[in-house]
Amino acid sequence: MSNALSRAVERYGAFRDEWYALPALVAVSLVVLAAMPFLRQLALFGVAPLGWLSLNMLIITLVWATTAQAWNIMSGYTGQFSFGHAAFFGLGAYTTIILTGTFGISPWVGMLLSSVIAAVYGLIIGALTFRYDLEGHYFALATLAFAELLRYVFTNVPQLGGASGFFRPLAREYADGPGLVAFQFTGDLPYYYLILGFLTVVTVVSLAINRSQLGYYLFAIREREQAAAAIGVPTYRYKLLAVAVSAFFTAWPGAFWAMYFNTIRPSTVFDLLVNVEILLPAIVGGVGTVLGPIVGSLIVIPVGEFVRQSFEIPGLNNAVYGAILIAIVLYSPKGVISWPSRFVDLLRARTDLLDDDAA
Amino acid sequence: MLSSFFLDACGREAAAVVGALDATAAPAVLGLSLPSPTIFAQYFVFAVLLGGIYGLVALGLTMIFGVMDVINFAHGALMVVAMYTVLVFSDATGLSPFFAIPFAVVLLFAFGVAIYRSTIAPIIDAPQENQLIVTFGVLLILVSGVEMIFGADPQQLGLNLGSLELSGVFVPRGQLYALVIALIALSGTWLFLQRTMLGRAIRGTADNRDGAQYVGIDVPRIDALTFGIGAALAGLAGGVIPLFQSFTPALGDQYLINAFVVVVLGGLGSFPGAFVGGLIIGFIQVFGQAYLGGSTYQIVIFLAFILVLLVKPEGLLGGSADE
């Protein structure tokens, strides 16, 4: 093996054990994301390698990155596998649009209220399911049932929009016109930086939890709940806290969705598939890690959106998602985020072997 | 108004009323203050027929769950594959769909074994979420594949089986045949599990996987067989649906979600439970469509589901596959 490579491997191996490694990597990836709208236009020798990425794709990518980051706090850190996060996403979208469209309330106030409502709904789900000790399949099915329940409530109550949902109100109906105050913009670029801002907030919260005593409590619950309870962790209370925080932040990208797209309908924000799109980036990137949801979303969502937007074949993007899901769970359940470390460990093991032979 | 409802009900439109997704005929009756005994009997018949179909849909799901502890999200997608298999087979051969259904069952058995070997077997001991995600991936691929080949528009066989009339109450033949097939499938699977050595091995594996391994049962082989039978039962359920209903690639999802409810209501792994749960959902759906309008009945179904999950998660007739 070349010396340069082995030195690089050694240096990375030392770096990843430092306390600042994770915050540094998080900062780097957020900076890269901030530069993304320009990077995609960058041409090397007349070819733009990222030219196929539209701003719209990048926005959708960050929406699902943010939901996955929020999902991760409950399901990745605490191990309570939610298959019904569409409930919180949809509540975020609907509450915001109803408050803004019907009552003329600022979408920002609407978003905060919607995240409180989502957190309360999360607390109700958590209080019921944890009280009755639902685990594994039963927990996943229960969360799915709570999400599907909302879908049919919103479909069948005309005051909540019914099956046709709501149109996004015009900015001048409740504000002076498009702008940050109105949560509406004329181009895509401000939307991109807004959702990047949401992602940054949720990521910082996730990192803070990861590094705090709260985080260690949550990890302990995930690894062995009874043991955690035995050493004095109030597991019920901390599981509820994780659900509430996760639901609170899942409502943000939901509110963003409502203010970015022209319409919302039960079949778009509460759909069965939304539950999957929310957790997909985290699964692909690495469940329970801070960087996993971001890296995973960058891999899987642009591919899916590209396939959906460039081929006139409906359903092809879902088939791609399905294939990626199966491949990741079968061959790399720790996610893409584990690949550099696996690579380093592999190389180190080989170097050690070679050294032994030489000796 | 009433007679038009009944005339509708005995034709293909009966499929729409009973077949779940369309409540157009219901408002015609909503105007009445008190249902006459005949209307009530008519709804009762529809509810029983629909309940039987739900029971059949849940059978394969509950079997895989009871034996392998795997929630098969691909179950509805396997049904969709069977629906289109029946369509293609009938079109290609010109034979009655009753010949196509056994073909779909055999095909889906092979399909199920292949899916098990390639995606489930490697992670059978992994956390439960992994199996859920993998079967959901299979769902996405199968449904998208069918949609890519056949499009998303509704398809139908163009059968007109008509109805039987029993003192003013109409029994649509399509659903009736489906119910009969469901009962035959139930008793056939039950006899297989109770009366054959393989069936005993499956029941033993359901009871205690490690114990089964110790006494020499080839558990991976039993798993493959179980998954194959589960998929074959999905094939049977999907195969009978074209007898009375037009179908799209998305129809599997709608049946799947309610089949989960049926399975949990009846108790995961319980065969009689699947039919009891199916009947409960059938009654909620038919009477809910008639008296609540829209798809409000789904709200009732999910509330019932959440209630049972919380209060009695082992289901109303909870037990393992051998009961």
Closest CA–CA distance from residue A326 to any residue of chain B (Å): 5
DSSP state of B122: G
Contact (CB<8Å) B147/A283: no
pLDDT at A274 over 80: yes
Find the closest chain B residue to A81 by CA distance: B129
pLDDT digits (tens, 9 = 90+) for B37-81: 888 889 999 999 999 999 999 999 999 988 888 999 999 999 999
Instruction: Quickly state the pLDDT bin for A84 (edges 50, 70, 90).
Output: very high
pLDDT digits (tens, 9 = 90+) for A246-260: 999 999 999 999 999
Q: What is the mean pLDDT of residues A185-207?
A: 96
pLDDT at A211 over 80: yes
pLDDT of residue B25: 41
**Interfacial B residues in 98-127 facing A (CB < 8 Å):** 119, 122-123, 126
The beta-carbon neighbor of B144 closest among A129, A319, A333 is A319
Measured CA to CA, the distance from residue A136 to residue B251 in angstroms comes to: 27
Instruction: Quickly state the pLDDT bin for A174 (edges 50, 70, 90).
Output: confident
pLDDT at B313 over 80: no
pLDDT of residue B31: 46
Query: How many Cβ pairs closer than 8 A exist between chain A and B?
Result: 129
Candidates A284, A330, A334, partner chain B, best to mutate (most B CBs within 10 A):
A330
Candidates A329, A331, A332, partner chain B, best to mutate (most B CBs within 10 A):
A329
Range among A7-11, B291-295, B301-305 rated most confident: B301-305
C-alpha triplet B195, B222, B71: angle, nearest 5° = 105
pLDDT of residue B5: 31
Give chain A's domain count: 1
pLDDT at A6 over 90: no
The beta-carbon neighbor of A141 closest among B140, B260, B299 is B260
Instruction: Extract long-range pairs of A158-161: CB within 8 Å, 24+ residues apart.
Output: A160/A94, A160/A98, A161/A94, A161/A98, A161/A264, A161/A265, A161/A266
Q: What is the mean pLDDT of residues B203-208?
A: 90
User: Of A70, A102, A38, A111, nearest to A260 (Cα)?
Assistant: A111
Contact between B268 and B319 (Cβ < 8 Å): no
* B169 sits in which H/E element: strand B169-172
Closest CA–CA distance from residue B298 to any residue of chain A (Å): 7
For the beta carbon of residue B36, count every other beta carbon within 10 angstroms: 12
Q: Give the CA radius of gyration of chain A.
A: 22
Residues of A in Cβ contact (< 8 Å) with B291: none
Find the closest chain A residue to B268 by CA distance: A138
pLDDT of residue B161: 78
Contact (CB<8Å) B140/A141: no
Q: What is the mean pLDDT of residues B243-267?
A: 91
Contact between B279 and B59 (Cβ < 8 Å): no
Q: What is the pTM of this model?
A: 0.89
DSSP state of B247: B
pLDDT digits (tens, 9 = 90+) for A117-144: 999 999 999 999 998 888 888 899 999 9
Percent of chain B whose predicted confidence (pLDDT) is above 90 = 54
Find the closest chain A residue to B253 by CA distance: A272
Closest CA–CA distance from residue A193 to any residue of chain B (Å): 32
Measured CA to CA, the distance from residue B24 to residue B156 in angstroms comes to: 19
The beta-carbon neighbor of B123 closest among A146, A149, A330 is A330
Coil vs helix vs strand at B248 = coil
Contact (CB<8Å) A321/B249: no
Instruction: Quickly state the pLDDT bin for B35 (edges 50, 70, 90).
Output: low
Q: Residue A6 carries which side chain, given as an amino acid letter? A: S
pLDDT of residue B9: 36
Closest CA–CA distance from residue A206 to any residue of chain B (Å): 22
pLDDT of residue A2: 67
Contact between A313 and B148 (Cβ < 8 Å): yes
Coil vs helix vs strand at B236 = helix
Q: Give residue for tokens 């006139």.
A: A312
Instruction: Quickly state the pLDDT bin for A356 (edges 50, 70, 90).
Output: low
Domain hosting residue A80, numbered range: 3-358
B248 touches chain A (CB under 8 A): no
Average pLDDT, chain A: 90
C-alpha triplet B297, B298, B300: angle, nearest 5° = 65
B137 touches chain A (CB under 8 A): yes
Please give the C-alpha separations between residue A332 and each of A325, A339, B114, B135, in angstroms, as whole numbers.
10, 9, 21, 16
CATH number of the structural domain spanning residue A235 = 1.10.3470
Find the closest chain B residue to A334 by CA distance: B130
**Interfacial B residues in 62-81 facing A (CB < 8 Å):** 65, 69, 71
> Any idea which fold B2-311 has?
ABC transporter involved in vitamin B12 uptake, BtuC (1.10.3470)
Range among A13-22, A62-71, A302-311, B185-194 rated most confident: A62-71
Closest CA–CA distance from residue B133 to any residue of chain A (Å): 7
pLDDT at B20 over 60: no
For the beta carbon of residue B243, count every other beta carbon within 10 angstroms: 22
Find the closest chain B residue to A144 by CA distance: B257
pLDDT at B291 over 90: no
Contact between A173 and A104 (Cβ < 8 Å): yes
Average pLDDT, chain B: 84
Range scoring the smallest mean pLDDT among B13-27, B116-130, B167-181, B202-216: B13-27
Instruction: Quickly state the pLDDT bin for B34 (edges 50, 70, 90).
Output: low
Residue-by-residue DSSP string for A207-263:
HHHHHSHHHHHHHHHHH-HHHHHHTT--HHHHHHHHHHHHHHHHHHHHHHHHHHSSE
Instruction: Quickly state the pLDDT bin for A49 (edges 50, 70, 90).
Output: confident
Q: Residue A127 carries which side chain, given as an amino acid letter? A: A
Residues of B in Cβ contact (< 8 Å) with A318: 140-141, 143-144
Give me the helices (H) in chain A, please. 3-16, 21-39, 55-71, 86-103, 107-131, 136-156, 188-211, 213-223, 225-230, 235-260, 266-269, 272-285, 292-310, 316-331, 339-358
Residues of A in Cβ contact (< 8 Å) with B260: 141, 144
Q: What is the mean pLDDT of residues A165-189?
A: 89
B92 touches chain A (CB under 8 A): no
Alpha carbons within 13 angstroms on the beta-carbon side of residue B162 total 2
Closest CA–CA distance from residue A245 to any residue of chain B (Å): 22
Q: Which two tokens stand for residue B315?
A: 């289901």
pLDDT of residue B107: 96
Q: Which two tokens stand for residue A45?
A: 């020798």
Q: Give residue for tokens 């029941």.
A: B203
Contact (CB<8Å) A330/B310: no
B141 touches chain A (CB under 8 A): yes
Closest CA–CA distance from residue A140 to any residue of chain B (Å): 8
Residues of A in Cβ contact (< 8 Å) with B255: none
